[in-house]
Amino acid sequence: MKKHNLHTIKNLVTAIVVTLFFSCNNNISDVQKVGVLQNQPIGEAEDIDLKYTEFKDDTLRLLANLLSPKMLDYSNRDFPFNEFPDGIELYIYDSNNNKTTITSNYAIVYSETDIIDLRGDVQIATHQNDTLFTEQLYYNQKLEWAFTNKAFTYKGITNNTYGVGFDSDKEFKNFQMLEMGGDFELDN
Would residue 35 count as lying in a domain? no
Domain tally, the chain: 1
Residue at 32 is within a domain? no
Rounded Cα distance, 117 and 98, in Å:
24
Residue 143 inside a domain? The answer is yes
Going residue by residue through the chain (188 aa), what tens digit of pLDDT does each one get?
556 566 666 666 565 666 555 555 556 555 544 555 567 899 999 999 988 888 888 888 888 898 999 999 999 888 999 999 999 999 888 888 889 899 999 999 998 998 999 999 999 998 888 899 999 999 888 888 889 999 999 888 888 888 898 888 877 777 777 776 655 454 54
Q: Is 107 a domain residue?
A: yes
CB 149 within 8 A of CB 142: no
Domain that holds residue 70: 44-183
DSSP per residue, 66-82 = EEEEEEEEETTSSS-EE
CATH value at residue 156:
2.60.450.10
CA end-to-end distance (rounded Å), the chain: 114
CA torsion 118-119-121-126 (nearest 10°) is 10
Residue 155 lies inside a defined structural domain of this protein: yes
